[in-house]
Chains A and B, each alone.
Chain A
Amino acid sequence: MPEDPSLYLIWTTNENGTHYTVVSADSDILSGGENPDMGFLTLVDQREQLHTNIELARDNRETKRSNATLLRWGTIGLLAGGVVCTIASGGLCGLALIGIAATSFFASTQEDSDAEVYQNSVDSELEQLRTVEGDLRFRQRIAQSTETGG
């Protein structure tokens, strides 16, 4: 806290609102004591990192989704061209266009697969985020029972 550097104000938010607790700077709540990975400050850093990773994975997923959609519409456009060409000329141009459309379609399925890989990353990191946020609330409940809380 600016007026007293020996104190920290920590808070967590849940469906009941935001809960504040004042802890001393050398508190095990902040450092984690014998388990530094469970320190409040470490958990806050982990939460920030997970947020960044999730947003990055989501952006990558959306890029892959857009590419897949574009390639699929390319496939549909080629097939529609094939329909018109077959009706108009009755020739083999339709078969040639089916071949080209197949290439575009398989490229779109690759982009779809990549998008699903990014989606798996998003799901996995969202799960980690829930765990970290649960740990943060747990640390704060301990703080409230041992320090000055509100």
Chain B
Amino acid sequence: MLILIWVIVWNSIFAITTGQLLVGIVGGVVGLALIGMAIEGSFMRKLEGREVPDLALLMLGLIILVLVYGEIRDLIINDLEFLGEFYLPGLIALIRILGSFGLAALLIWETFKLMRKPLP
């Protein structure tokens, strides 16, 4: 959850620095909602201990694929320097991309744990 908040907050900052104010505000609101969920915690507790259907595992796999594929495409066109000057939005995007890879690694770990969970 913390990594997810990290990624969304940096995505929001990136959008604002590149002039995408609306996208930045939407990202900020989603980030705040997640922070609220993390603090409150009851939502996550409701999911704990439930059997995870194969369809949900498939969707977790799709989330990982979308995340990794998208960030690799984004990384390819990212600049840290532009026309001889340091490019701040590029650094912000890089921080977000690194967070996304961390999130993907965590999701892979959690998905494998769920797959190996014995049926009740």
Whether A and B are associated in the same complex: the answer reads yes
> Which residues from chain A sit less than 8 Å from chain B, CB to CB?
51, 54-55, 58-59, 61-63, 65-70, 72-73, 75-77, 79-80, 82-84, 86-88, 90, 94-95, 97-98, 101, 105, 108, 112, 115-116, 119
How many interface residues does chain B have, given as a range? Answer: 20 to 34
Lowest 3 A-B CB distances belong to which pairs? A62-B18, A72-B70, A66-B20
Known: A65-B77, A87-B50. A98 touches B62 (CB 8 A): yes
Q: When A and B form their complex, what is the total count of cross-chain residue pairs whose Cβ atoms lie within 8 Å? A: 95
16 pairs, A vs B, C-beta closer than 8 Å: A62-B18, A63-B18, A65-B74, A68-B73, A69-B74, A70-B27, A73-B11, A76-B66, A79-B63, A83-B56, A86-B55, A87-B47, A87-B56, A94-B55, A112-B74, A116-B76
Asked if A79 and B77 make an inter-chain contact with CB atoms under 8 angstroms apart, the answer reads no
Q: Which of A54, A73, A94 contacts B59 (CB 8 A)?
A: A94
**Given A73-B30, A112-B73, 13 further pairs, Cβ under 8 A:** A58-B82, A63-B19, A65-B93, A70-B15, A70-B26, A72-B66, A73-B11, A80-B59, A83-B56, A87-B47, A98-B59, A112-B74, A115-B77
